Chains A and B, each alone.
Chain A
């Protein structure tokens, strides 16, 4: 089975009492297979982040089915869903969201708190950090890193558990061209190694021929 992510007819609306309902996703369907790296391009407010959270098992859709690594996360208990994320999904955020009080090594090791590891994750963590050119800064806190370096740490953290699916929300949004390229190369490499990557962005420069377009919650190719 090569299919990693399948989204079928997913609709998601934000309802708040006393406020207008915002429909962020309308009947969205898509699939990602091993080796895929697909962009979801759309303007601000079109529902990109919503799609990413639904795909990652963090936001339950109103309608439709999500399948990650062969399982529907929303049919699982909260703990089992967490385990599914820990084993198979990696997240990269535009704001990196590193723990300010942990050094780089510990930040990369943070996913081990989910308790799914059987082998010592430290060698792999160091290897990833090394690969992203931060081998000499293992015990530095994030505050001592440049923006680009922080994003690389976030990427290493997402890759630590060798997930099948990598979900990246504007991963290059805060980076200069060189750093952006570095991150994208890493994502491409991950896909070539058999992972599936979904990158959501409003950056036209990243558009490719097989990009998805998301406008007002409607997904087209």
Chain B
């Protein structure tokens, strides 16, 4: 009879004890293998979700663009009003008007009762050198939105300003920088800087537009007029969101010229700009949402990692202790058997092997079961389909080899102390006691 036969027969005879031992090996292996599988599965799920989100965002943005086109049609036109002496080709090449007009033009438009006009913004623009930084900028001064008489219900009680202006005014002592300017000077919102001898706080930095706006520096109109010695002058009036159904530009031009015959009216960037803006905003919102989602999933992964980094070794440790306990019980149960085997000439090494080989079998079966249980549990935990390609990709067979070494090693380690105790016992004493 071979040693293996003895071992297998004993395992079959004491099934429960063996199964309990096997269970703890499977638990240990499941915990040990399941932890990294869980993290890998989670990260894989994250990738899938993010890709899906990105695609959804793309679709959403296309849809939003269409929506905006419709909204813009309802909202109406953005027009710019410049002096009739302004050369339009120069305006285009310079990026700003040169010929000035009196400020009262805008007041006249505001009180002129033109139904199509909605929001009026007087501006003075001038290409200057920022002396402190030796940088060319388009200095742009505005007092903020000018009240339009027929829109009184949108105004503050004193009638001097809008409750919800679509363009904010810039307080004195503050600047809003075009994207390029801010980048070149390394300035951010909240910083302080000196312009033409005065100290300013940066109120905001505009997003990049790819136009001459990027080199604009916005300030309060009064300060600019004073600095450039152009009291009471502006060179541009922006009329935003003009309400108009058919032949918009024609009607607005006619309306404006009725009050101000000495100006030219032109449409500017309404659709293109709004669409781009909308897209940027949507993209921003989605990017933020996706960043938040990714961050959330990273935090969850970190929580998993921390949890498993404590739980896995703990389960392995408890399983090992439980194995030692079970093997001690097995040895105690087999005391007489060991005494008899010794009496009939079976050596200590063989007795040691009886227990170690048994633990080896337990370890090998436990490693196999634990390998699959660990993968299944890890994937199931993050709700990954066990019949999907993703799951199959998660399986690292290298882990199986490691498990096939680690689990038997764990079992043999747990069986070692009880087995040594078994052969340390004096067979004579065992037989006498029997």
**Which residues of A are interface residues toward B (Cβ below 8 A)?**
49-50, 53, 56, 58-59, 78-79, 82-87, 89-91, 93, 95, 97, 99-102, 106, 109-116, 157-158, 161
The answer, yes or no, to whether B346 is at the interface (CB within 8 Å) is yes
A93–B1 contact, CB under 8 A?
no
B3 within 8 A of A: yes
Please give 5 more A-B residue pairs, beta carbons under 8 A apart, in addition to A101-B13, A101-B14, A110-B341: A53-B431, A95-B434, A100-B13, A110-B346, A114-B347
Contact pick for A111, options B14, B344, B349, CB 8 Å: B344
Is B432 within 8 A of A83, CB to CB? no
Alpha-carbon separation in the docked complex, A97 to B342 (Å): 12
Q: Is the interface of A mostly helix, strand, loop or mixed?
A: helix
Across-interface contacts of B342 in A (CB, < 8 A): 58, 82
- Tell me if B370 counts as interface (CB < 8 A to partner A): no
Q: Which stretch (B56-64, B137-145, B332-340, B381-389) binds chain A?
A: B332-340
Q: Which residues of B lie under 8 Å from residue A84 when comparing CB positions?
A: 345
Q: Chain A nearest CB: distance from B256 CB in Å? A: 108
CA distance A55 to B309 in the complex (A): 58
- B139-156 vs A: 1/0 string, CB under 8 Å? 000000000000000000
CB contacts under 8 Å to A, within B403-434, are: 426-428, 431-432, 434
Q: Once bound together, how far apart are the Cα atoms of A113 and B352, in whole Å? A: 13
- The reply to whether the CB of B16 lies closer than 8 angstroms to some CB of chain A is no
Contact of A101 among B12, B341, B343, B431 (CB under 8 A): B12
Contact call B346/A58, Cβ cutoff below 8 A: no
Q: Complex: how many Å from CA A87 to CA B349?
A: 17
The answer on a CB contact under 8 Å between B340 and A97 is yes
* CB-based nearest B residue for A98: B340
Question: How many angstroms between the C-alpha atoms of A106 and B346 in the bound complex?
Answer: 15
Residues of the B chain whose Cβ atoms lie less than 8 Å from the Cβ of A86: 344-346
Chain A residues near B255 (CB, 8 Å)?
none
Q: Can you list 22 pairs linking A and B with CB atoms under 8 Å apart?
A: A50-B432, A58-B428, A59-B428, A82-B347, A84-B345, A85-B343, A85-B344, A86-B345, A91-B340, A93-B434, A95-B434, A97-B336, A97-B339, A97-B340, A99-B9, A102-B9, A106-B5, A109-B1, A110-B341, A110-B344, A111-B344, A114-B350
A78 and B348 within 8 A (CB): yes
The answer to whether A58 touches B427, judged by C-beta atoms less than 8 angstroms apart, is yes
On whether A112 and B1 interact (CB within 8 A), knowing A82-B345, A87-B345, the answer reads yes
